[in-house]
Amino acid sequence: MAEPGRIWPRLMASRTAEQGQRLYARGRGVGGSSAVNAMVALAGEPGDYDEWERDFGCAGWGWASVAPWFARLPIPLRPAMPHEMGVVAQAMLSAEPTAEPANLTRTADGRRASVNDVYLEPARARANLQVR
């Protein structure tokens, strides 16, 4: 996020009326905030998806429906190596004794992958694709 031009400048927001405004870092460019975020990928607990479908009427959001989509993710993931972890990842791992394990991952070659990398670039040659 420190690289100029990667986030919208001076975008401020507050969560409540009482809270003062703070910088609201949002990614700028194709792929949006996926180009600047922490790159943590979590599929979620299967029971949570089933609860959404069963208890909240979210048809098609049960684990049986969404699991195939998670399986289609095109990036081979592997656990991040200790030397690849930033302070956020280290903080999440330090919480493991009291929280669910964190799935901190990178692509197989150690390179970040934004929405642009994963979805737009493979489709760029399509005749019906327009990016405005």
The alpha carbon torsion through 49, 51, 55, 61 (nearest 10 deg) reads 10
Instruction: Over range 105-127, report the average pLDDT.
Output: 73
64/115 Cα distance (integer angstroms):
24
Is this model's pTM higher than 0.75 or not?
Answer: no
Q: What contacts 74, CB < 8 A, 6 or more positions away?
A: 118, 122
Average pLDDT over the chain, rounded to an integer: 77
Site of tokens 């990036």: 75
pLDDT digits (tens, 9 = 90+) for 67-97: 998 887 765 556 667 777 777 777 777 776 6
**How many CB atoms are closer than 10 A to CB 80?**
19
